[in-house]
């Protein structure tokens, strides 16, 4: 399988970061690339730079997505759009949970529902789900995010089962920390955020993730690259922690029940 086997691609979350880098990379392969995001102005600039076709659509707008996917047959689907609201689940509010489920999971499910049946019917297609190491590893303060990314990981596995027997490939991309502006979107556009997450670290760039996606797409037809974890060399996942209790546990002095009239 080479890029010449595909004619069209749809990339979500395309206005910046990994999404924009993927659009740029796919446009170099003589593919008609449709770039989808909420922000019209960044998409306009990206279209001027790359020749992509911009669509200022929120991925939660199911009606607009249905109209677009009914009008165009997509051979490549890159589910990249994502959000986060980092906080402990004990402090999560209703809006945070709904937003993450709507963008990170529900939109992916519906786009796959709209696009993958056509791929199966044509016996040709490639789904790229950009998940996260958070789908497999735990770190504090992102419970809803972990849950949605783990769901996308399982969806990727299930899509291969549902499309079994057809030349529809599914690749899950799991980035670790990448030098993009996602941290500013999540934590606020403050110099301290860049210092905390990017400055001084040796990190992959968005273009590196795009190249990994291109590698998976360009693999021979007999090859499905199903899962890729892409992390900085100097990043590891996991770790063991043991906590002391905040207060000592009360110890009962009871020696057990006694029967009335029994001898001590």
* 145 assigned to active site: yes
- Dist. CA 80–CA 24, nearest whole Å: 14
Place of tokens 């979500």: 12
Residue 67 tokens read as: 């109209």
- Dist. CA 87–CA 236, nearest whole Å: 21
Catalytic option among 145, 163, 209, 212: 145
Per DSSP, 104 falls in state: I
* Residue 162 main-chain phi, psi, to 5 deg: -70, -30
Q: Give which of 17, 77, 30, 63 is closest to 210, Cα–Cα.
A: 17
- Dist. CA 111–CA 109, nearest whole Å: 6
Helix ranges, 104-248 (H): 107-122, 143-162, 182-187, 191-197, 206-218
User: Do residues 36 and 55 make contact, with C-beta atoms less than 8 angstroms apart?
Assistant: yes
Active site residues: 145
């Amino acid at each position: 399988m080479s890029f010449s086997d595909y004619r069209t691609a749809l990339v979500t979350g395309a206005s910046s970061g990994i999404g924009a880098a993927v659009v740029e990379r796919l446009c170099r392969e003589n593919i008609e690339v449709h770039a989808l995001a909420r922000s019209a102005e960044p998409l306009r600039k990206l279209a001027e730079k790359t020749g992509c076709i911009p669509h200022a659509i929120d991925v939660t707008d199911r009606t607009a997505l249905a109209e677009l996917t009914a009008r165009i047959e997509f051979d490549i689907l890159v589910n990249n759009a994502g959000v986060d609201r980092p906080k402990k689940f004990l402090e999560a509010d209703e809006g945070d949970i709904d937003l993450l489920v709507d963008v990170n999971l529900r939109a992916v499910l519906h786009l796959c529902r709209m696009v993958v049946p056509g791929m199966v019917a044509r016996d040709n297609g490639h789904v790229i789900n950009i998940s996260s190491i958070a789908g497999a590893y735990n770190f504090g303060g992102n419970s809803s995010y972990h849950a949605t990314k783990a769901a996308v990981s399982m969806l990727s596995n299930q899509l291969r089962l549902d499309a079994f027997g057809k030349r529809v490939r599914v690749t899950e991309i799991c980035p670790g920390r990448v030098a993009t502006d996602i941290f500013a979107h999540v934590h606020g556009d403050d110099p301290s955020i860049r210092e905390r997450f990017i400055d001084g670290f040796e990190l992959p760039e968005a273009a590196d993730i795009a190249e990994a996606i291109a590698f998976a797409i360009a693999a021979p037809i007999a090859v499905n690259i199903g899962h890729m974890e892409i992390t900085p060399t100097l990043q590891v996942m996991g770790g063991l922690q043991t906590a002391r209790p905040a207060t000592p546990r009360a110890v009962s002095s009871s020696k057990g029940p006694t029967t009335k009239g029994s001898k001590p």
